[in-house]
Amino acid sequence: MSTDAGWRGATDGGADRIVLDETDSTMAEARRRAPELRAPAWIMARRQTAGHGRRGRAWVSPEGNFAATVVLPAAGVPAQAALRSFTASLALHEALLACGATTEALGLKWPNDVLLNGGKVAGILLESLPRGGVAIGVGVNLATAPGADDVEPGAVRPVALAEETGARVSPADFLAVLAPAFAEWESRFVTYGFSPVRDAWLARAARLGEPVTARLPTEAVTGTFETVDAAGQLVLRTAAGRRSIAAADVYF
């Protein structure tokens, strides 16, 4: 359940903005509120009591870090909705640049992480909504990063914007930068399709042209990260030939 901060407004990106003092998770809040939303809306919480990431993993989010979900009531067919992880990644890249990170320090990790100085500073989670549309959860370590015990073995180390750059940015100020950046990338995606989004993402991709390992439920595939295809799949060049992977956890 949630505790409202007592106000609701619009972001510079044109989307509605709902700010909560506390909720279990902004993704859960998005599912509860989705039936009443007719236009894109950002739901941000100052505190989460049960945040989660991909595959149900816990997402540790101390106060001062950013936790929000943007709801897109009309996101097209599921395959198109899934590509919003790329638009969200690009928007996060722009927002972090605006908040003190450098181009050289940032990288985008397939399928849904943002790296800062080689560590994970942000993650993205997509969920389809019961009546159509998609909810895109965004977590950013603005103030502090989780400890090593809070992530699984072999995962990219967590880092925080403040610890890596010295920049102190509040969640509200970060939303003010992120929302219009996301709105711009969403507009490009809707107008021009995935191709320009894909090109922009690849230009910022981490470990492109280098060996990576993709862990699937039944196997691990190691190969050279060659590209991302027109469907958003990871393409690896392996000893057995090219392999396209729709969903996996990638390890360096």
Residues 6 or more apart whose Cβ sits within 8 Å of residue 240:
none
- Is the domain of 194 the same as that of 111? yes
The dihedral sign for the CA sequence 32, 87, 143, 17: negative
Q: Which domain holds residue 140?
A: 2-203
Per-residue model confidence as pLDDT tens digits over 73-130:
988 888 899 999 999 999 999 999 999 999 999 999 999 999 999 999 999 999 999 8
Contact 124, 115 (CB under 8 A): no
- Is the domain of 236 the same as that of 178? no
Task: Find the CATH number of the domain harbouring 218.
Answer: 2.30.30
Alpha-helical (H) ranges within the chain are 26-33, 78-82, 84-98, 161-165, 171-192, 194-203
The pLDDT confidence band at residue 15, using thresholds 50, 70 and 90, is confident
Q: What angle do CA 136, 236, 78 make, to 5 degrees?
A: 30
- The tokens for 154 are 């072999």
Output helix, strand, coil percentages for the chain, rounded to the nearest 5: 30, 35, 35
pLDDT at 75: 83
- Is the domain of 67 the same as that of 140? yes
Residues 6 or more apart whose Cβ sits within 8 Å of residue 157:
118, 119, 120, 145, 148, 151
- Is the domain of 106 the same as that of 225? no
- Is the domain of 191 the same as that of 217? no
Q: Where on the phi/psi map is residue 174: left (φ > 0), alpha (ψ -120 to 50), or beta?
A: alpha
User: Residue 97: how many CB atoms within 10 A of its CB?
Assistant: 15
Per-residue model confidence as pLDDT tens digits over 156-173:
999 999 999 999 999 999
- The tokens for 128 are 């389809």
Going by C-alpha positions, the residue among 203, 213, 204 that lies closest to residue 234 is 213
pLDDT at 7: 40
- Is the domain of 32 the same as that of 10? yes
| Chain centre distance of CA 176 | 16
Contact 16, 39 (CB under 8 A): yes
- Is the domain of 170 the same as that of 235? no
Q: How many domains does the chain have?
A: 2
Task: Find the CATH number of the domain harbouring 85.
Answer: 3.30.930.10
Pairing of strands 41-48, 16-23: parallel
- Is the domain of 68 the same as that of 153? yes
Per-residue model confidence as pLDDT tens digits over 165-196:
999 999 999 999 999 999 999 999 999 999 99
More confident residue, 59 or 7: 59
Alpha-helical (H) ranges within 113-215 are 161-165, 171-192, 194-203
- Is the domain of 108 the same as that of 137? yes
Rounded to whole angstroms, how far apart are CA atoms 23 and 63?
12
pLDDT at 146: 86
pTM for the full predicted model: 0.91
| Chain centre distance of CA 142 | 14
- Is the domain of 113 the same as that of 222? no
- Is the domain of 124 the same as that of 236? no
